[in-house]
Structure 1
Amino acid sequence: MKIRSIYMASLAVGLLLGSCSKEFLEKTPQGQLGEGQVSNGEGIEAVLLGAYSIMNGNVSGSWGNYASAPSQWVFGEMTSDNAHKGSEETDQPNMNLLEMLNPNPANDNLTTMWQVYFEGVLRSNTTLKLIKQDQQGGKDITAARALEIEAEARMLRGHYYFFMWRIFRNLPWIDENTTLEESKTKPNDVDIYDKIIEDVKFAADNLPVSKIKGEAGRMDKNIAKAYLGKLYLYQKKYDLAFPLFKEVIAGKDISNMPFQDNFDVEKEDGPEALLVSKHAINPNGSADNANVGDMLSGIYAAPVSCCGFYQPTIDLVNAYKVDANGLPYLEGEYRINPYKSDLGLSGTAKTNYELDVTLRIDPRLDYTVGRRGVPFLDYGVMPGDSWIRSASFAGPFVGIKTMIKQSQFASNTVAGEAYITGLDVNIMRLADVYLMAAECAVELNDLPSALNYVNAVRLRAAKLPVKMVDGKSVANYQVKPYTTFPTQDYARKAVRMERRLELALEGHRYFDLVRWGIAKTVLESYSAFEGTHLPFYKGLSYKSYNDYFPIPQTEIDRSGGTLKQNDGY
């Protein structure tokens, strides 16, 4: 593995603004500098910001960062029952292999993920090394600030490693004490998960409650607590995770936090935001700090005109159906008489297609998925196939959560490239924590608490504004709270479905299915259903080693064979 030089990032004088500003990101690479040039207070702070900058999954440039996107759409959604790669079958064929769970070690998406996030690890390590040297020497930084910097850097390192651990599992642990020569041949034969927990626990113990310098995007104590709870949840240590989630939730009423605000570029850093990848269009109009990871997900037609990837599945859309009580179908009944929009129609039937306004659905569908006949942000009514590159390949639907309003283009997109936006990505938001708390409560057999957490999320969903055309609702919108969780098994299914509905297309689904141990059952069943409507997706076979992905062959070669390939690949 290659150790890169430090890419120093600095904030311009006077741009240290408050919690609702993007200037935290508007930094310019200053070239490759030696450690001696940054071994002072200002330099160490700049190197720390350089470590933060990897949160947007980008080292430099704009194109090609899709696999490392903070939204994790490639590994967390496209590989699941929620999303297709989209576009055309011949476009980005290595993504097709990932989606059908047939990756090989030469897949460039794996290399991108590995190299970008190890760059984040290395920048975090450099920060830790420099702050240690400062405290042992002239102490240009106060002891209190030094502790905060260490906590920030370790939180970042824990995050970068966790993102890689979910995908690769077997990783070499490289920290600030690892020498350059050691790093080149560090083996990946020991599970590093406890090391990740150590980093995040240190952050939870030492980060302040308030954002450092009042800057949005900084790590804080609540983020670290929620993240630590998530790490315990993956280990099924519900008794350790649950109290942390409750501490983060305490005093916060999610039912009064508008769902749609989480995906509005003008309403970022709101009360639901926790761990956020901050994005901004640079002052010179360039895209390095923008949301380049999600740029392919733009609609194919004007006014975006690129790129037609990341399309919601037919299965996901139908999962938003509700029964007569306004509750979701927990046993797959939503697949009966599936809604497919105008897929498969031709001629006058296609031209004269009319939206079924009697369709009984959870309103979150139309704030997550664009479908023909329904208003799409401020673009007008979604027209169908003209927004899609190949509906016969990847279906008739498009995503909404990665898009911004047309009226916001001037200040929040790259000129002439409206598919590159300044929209932030919520890596972890409060609803996620509510539902992780509900999951813990179920597994600890505290069903009343689980019911309360799930219903708080559903009550918020019920407040979504009705979408209308010509003064009439475009669907029979219904979402009601559960009256009871009669059994632990029922509660478990309800919580898992709620995570799908609330967090769809936010990077969680595949990892949830794997950690629940149901990925094979769910994905093979989904493939059989989806494949009857879109033939490319039929025949998916989930193997035990699909719980993770192969180590990039380029990295094994660079290590001289010290890194060992994951079983099955």
Structure 2
Amino acid sequence: MKIYNLIAQVGIAAFLLTGCSKDFLNKVPQGELSDVQLGTAESIEMQLLGAYSIMNGNISGTWGNYASAPSQWVFGEMTSDNAHKGSEQTDQPNMNMIETYGVNAENDNLSTMWQVYYEGVLRANGTIASVNTDQAGTKKVTAARAKEILAEARMLRGHYYFFMWRIFKNLPWIDENTTLEEAKVKPNTEDILPKIIEDLKFAEANLPVSKINNEGGRVTKAAAKAYLGKVYLYQKKYPEALALFKEVIAGRDITSLNFWNNFNVLTEDGPEALLVSKHAINSNGAPDNANVGDMLSGLYGTSPVGCCGFYQPTIDLVNAYKVDANGLPLLDNSFRNNPYLSDMKAPNNKYVLDTTLRVDPRLDYTVGRRGVEYLDYGIMPGNDWIRSASYAGPFVGIKTMIPQSQYATQTASGANYLTGLDVNIIRLADVVLMAAECQVELGNLSEALTLVNSVRNRAAKLAPKKTKYGNNAANYVVKPYPSFANQDYARKAVRFERRIELAMEGHRFFDLVRWGIAKDVIESYSSFEGTHLPFYKGLVFTPKAEIFPIPLTEIDRSNGTLTQNPGF
């Protein structure tokens, strides 16, 4: 299929690229071009595809690249009130330290994130240098295509840096003009966000409207606009961000788009997708281009997946989908009153699903819970699919899973937890809600109301999930807000909508930090969650926890040039 052409080519490109070890400081100097960089137009295209290949957060292999997953589940969700690490307490203890805000600079998850995405930066730099050399000399690439390649490479570089910036903030800027000797002593004391913005501006100005060669995964002008607007939003530049978001939204009706199509391997990368990490299972069943970052989220035990039991939704998130009699969210956190706990408090053979529970239907398209149909696997049986419910709760995720009927072509041979499912990095609902956020902060409450309600009206179209008896598994209801009475209420509504619409997609922790409410939200969540799951009781969120330490291995390699983040 055409949609997988880019993935197939990326595998070849990654093989052809030279100098792809993990240590970004020991690379072919960007001012001294290698033979590959001086090759044909085709070799430059292959370099670009090699730069694209890091979109899936993986350089090679399968096991071990969880921290660099494009879904950002380790840093963006597991650290928030949305998700637990899952599995058992003794499994992946370095993840426990991240989840409980006790991480140190020697944590291997930090090194993975740093090394993989600096590899992406390096590959983008190499592509840019090759194009510049070609255009200054033989011009084997047409001028028009050269501009597009530069735009693609700079978009990728901006993305890789932004992913790292949200986590580490203080980074050395390495570009196509940085030599090896300069890279070795490049400090991380410069604010790189303006340079990320420069890359995204160039991409927005020079990328085409349509995907090049109609290949899935290619970046477009709309993707660049959405990304640039997102970075402006992080800077609280609301007018600038809103202008870009409006351009992305124009002509797109989110109410006409199917929510679940974003997570269906047969309909992924569709009209709502703006920036995705493409994944595919090779024709021989090999997982080289699979979604390896999310592999641990596979269901455990007797489930058809059989591994690995990580990345479980929190009790707090599940209860956040409750609605009042008017079909509206409980913005005051009263959803924690009389909480729904599935079968945690019931003897295993006495549990009865409460089908009167009044919830937003997005709950059962985000979370697997006992007694409710789960894809085409049948009815979710509870503990039989969970490694340790007393540690990480009774719920499992669903957005990273695919139906059994697709295993033959969309999972790796003998490993159903390695799938060809894409990961949405930016999708239209994300942009609509970011635009709503801008409208709220600019005082345009009626415009914000329209945007939020478009997302809610789309959610109302979701088909109800069923029990084994064929009846609805809950009292599903979601209604639009009649009005936003004031700015504070509107702000809460937008933020809450982002949580329930984008849950388990890598946004939550970064949202809490940029809103300046991480400490209050996480410590309040800990008081609630810890009542039911003792491991999460008493979490303390300090200001230093808003970013993560620079990996000690990188500081050592820099001979002390890199400065550690405050508090670590």
Q: TM-score range by the shorter chain?
A: over 0.9
Q: Distance in 1 between matches of 2:215 and 2:288?
A: 19
The answer as to whether partners of 1:26 and 1:283 remain within 8 angstroms in 2 is: no
* Residues 24 and 439 of structure 1, relative CA distance in 2, 3 Å threshold: farther
The alpha carbon displacement at 1:350 in A equals 2.1
CA distance in 2, matches of 1:559, 1:23: 36
DSSP-derived class of the 2:35 partner: helix
Q: 1:270 to 1:20 in 2, by over 3 A?
A: farther
Identical positions, percent: 69
CA-to-aligned-CA distance 1:32-89 (integer Å, 9 cap, x gap): 5482234220000000000000000000001000000000000000000000000000
1:323 match: 324
Q: What does residue range 339-358 of structure 1 map to in structure 2 within 5 Å?
A: 339-345=340-346, 349-358=347-356
Aligned to 1:360: 358
Match of 1:415 among 413, 416, 422: 413
Written as runs of structure 1 = structure 2, the 5 A alignment for 1:66-465 is 66-301=66-301, 302-345=303-346, 349-465=347-463
CA contact (8 A) 2:17 2:36 kept: no
CA contact (8 A) 1:531 1:538 kept: yes
Amino acid at match of 2:404: Q
Once the 2 structures are TM-superposed, how far is the Cα of residue 548 of structure 1 from its aligned partner? 0.2
Question: Could you tell me how far 1:190 is from its partner in structure 2?
Answer: 1.1
Q: CA deviation at 1:284?
A: 2.7
Aligned to 1:35: 34
Distance 1:18 1:369, change over 3 A: closer
| Aligned position for 2:529 | 530
The aligned amino acid for 1:445 is: G
Show the counterpart of 2:23. none
**Contact persistence 2:37–2:127 (CA under 8 A):** no
Partner letter of residue 338 of structure 2?
N
> Which of 122-131 and 24-33 deviates more?
24-33
Counterpart position of 1:550: 549
> For 2:276, what is the secondary structure of its paired residue?
strand
Query: In structure 2, what is the equivalent of residue 64 of structure 1?
Result: 64
Listed as ranges, the gaps of 5+ residues in structure 2 are: 19-32
Q: How many residues were matched structurally? A: 551
Q: Deviations over 1:185-208 (max 9, x none)?
A: 100011111000000011001101
Give the drift of 1:106: 0.3
Once residues 18 and 458 of structure 1 are traced to their aligned partners in structure 2, the CA distance between those partners, rounded to angstroms, is 30
Bigger mean CA deviation after superposition, 173-182 or 30-39: 30-39
List per-residue Cα deviations over 1:119-139 (Å, max 9, x = no partner): 000000000000000000100
Matched, 1:518 2:522: no
- SS of the equivalent of 1:276 reads strand
Using the size of structure 1 for normalisation, the TM-score is: 0.95
Please state how far the C-alpha of 1:216 moved relative to its aligned partner: 1.0
SS at match of 2:532: coil
Question: CA RMSD, aligned part only?
Answer: 1.2
Q: What one-letter code is carried by the residue in structure 1 that aligns with 2:524?
A: S
Aligned partners of 1:19 and 1:269 also within 8 Å:
no
Which secondary structure does the structure 1 equivalent of 2:151 belong to?
helix
Deviation string, structure 1 residues 427-473 (Cα, Å, up to 9, x no partner): 00000000000000000001111001100000000000011232311
**CA distance, structure 1, for counterparts of residue 370 and residue 42 of structure 2:** 53
Is the 2:10–2:46 Cα contact (8 Å) retained in structure 1?
Answer: no
C-alpha distance in 2 between matches for 1:433 and 1:163: 17
SS in 2 for 1:531: helix
Give the distance between the partners of 2:11 and 2:77, measured in 1 at CA.
Answer: 29
Alpha-carbon distance, 1:288 to partner: 1.7
SS in structure 2 of the partner of residue 274 of structure 1: strand
Contact conserved, 1:170 with 1:189, CA < 8 A, in 2?
A: yes
Q: Residues 277 and 427 of structure 1 are in contact (CA less than 8 Å); yes or no, is this contact kept in structure 2?
A: yes
State the AA in 2 paired with 1:200. Answer: L
Aligned to 1:3: none
Q: Which moved more, 1:245-254 or 1:34-43?
A: 34-43
- Counterpart contact for 1:327–1:480, Cα < 8 Å: yes
CA contact (8 A) 1:414 1:421 kept: yes
Q: Compute the displacement of 1:21 (Å).
A: 7.7
Question: Measured at CA, do residues 369 and 168 of structure 1 come closer, stay the same or move farther in structure 2, by a change above 3 Å?
Answer: same
* Distance 1:471-1:303 versus aligned 2 partners, 3 A rule: closer
SS at the partner of 1:323? Answer: coil
TM-score (norm 2): 0.95
**CA deviation string 1:292-333 (max 9, x = no partner):** 000000000231110000000000000000000000000110
Rounded to whole Å, the distance in 1 between the matches of 2:193 and 2:186 is: 16
2:13/2:50 contact within 8 Å kept: no
Q: Partner amino acid for 1:403?
A: M
Q: Which whole-Å CA distance do the structure 2 matches of 1:119 and 1:22 have between them?
A: 18
Q: 1:407–1:21: structure 2 CA closer, same or farther, 3 Å change rule?
A: farther
Aligned counterparts of 2:8 and 2:88: Cα–Cα separation in 1: 37
In 2, distance between residues paired with 1:19 and 1:546?
39
